[in-house]
Amino acid sequence: MADDRIHIYCMPGMGANSLIFEGLHLPHEQFELHLLDWFKPDSKMSLQGYAKKMCKHIKHPNAVLLGVSFGAMLVQEMAKIISVRKVIVVSSVKSSKELPFKMKFARNTGAHKLLPMGLVNNVELLAKYAFGENLKKRIDLYQRYLSVKDKDYMNWSIHHMVNWSQDEPLPDVVHIHGDKDSVFPIKKIKDCTVVPNGHHAMIVHRAKWFNEHLPAIILS
């Protein structure tokens, strides 16, 4: 019997593991989720080279690629290599023009090299803004979801995030963004579906919104 389901490959953000998608529950008769995780890159590897290697994990033709934060930049690069049904960008940017000032400043001055894991440390920002007011809960979630802490990987990721060279958005990309995102402020974002009260890690704390809206977004 042919499998007519739509296959969705999910890529987490910088430093995060695929457990961030554990709250996603889409109708199984229509969709199947496949979770991707970061591997440690060679120090000289380009983002495009990383995307090419990650494409080897896409086992279904015409799949949907969904990426969060830096992972969304990666899936956009992957979509330049393989044919996909749809690209869904969550809590991220569609081009370098949407990067916030502090990241552009880091790119232009090289400050991110002087302050590795400090200036735009997605892990710290996730922990600070995403996981609620209860400190213990925040620490528990930090430890659960943010497990990729290798220094070389983090420095590589920060470098390629602030130096992302995509000048214009890819056609037909779907962009979902929270109105309270503190990493990529929504004032810099154009042409997106806005999630009310959505912080940078809304894929975790607003999973219900995604479960309600993703099916229609994917099928549209």
For residues 74-85, average pLDDT: 98
With CA atoms as reference, report the closest residue to 6 among 55, 58, 62. Answer: 62
What is the tens place of the pLDDT at every residue in 109-152? 665 554 444 434 455 554 554 444 455 666 677 778 877 778 88
Least confident of 82-96, 119-133, 196-210: 119-133
Mean pLDDT of the chain: 86
| Cβ contacts of 81 within 8 Å, gap of 6 or more | 51, 52, 55
Confidence of residue 1 (pLDDT cuts 50, 70, 90): very low
Which residues lie below 8 Å from residue 35, measured CB to CB, with a gap of 6+? 9, 10, 18, 21
Can you tell me the distance from the alpha carbon of 183 to that of 56, in angstroms, rounded to the nearest whole number?
A: 30
CATH code that applies to domain 6-219: 3.40.50.1820
Output 135 or 212, whichever has higher pLDDT.
Answer: 212
Taking residues 48-66, report their average pLDDT: 97
- pLDDT surpasses 60 at 51: yes
Bin 105: left if φ > 0, else alpha if -120 < ψ < 50, else beta: alpha
| CA–CA separation, 203 and 11 (whole Å) | 11
Q: Nearest to residue 14, comparing CAs of 101, 117, 129, 110?
A: 117
In the chain, domain spans? 6-219
Is the pLDDT score of 98 beyond 60? yes
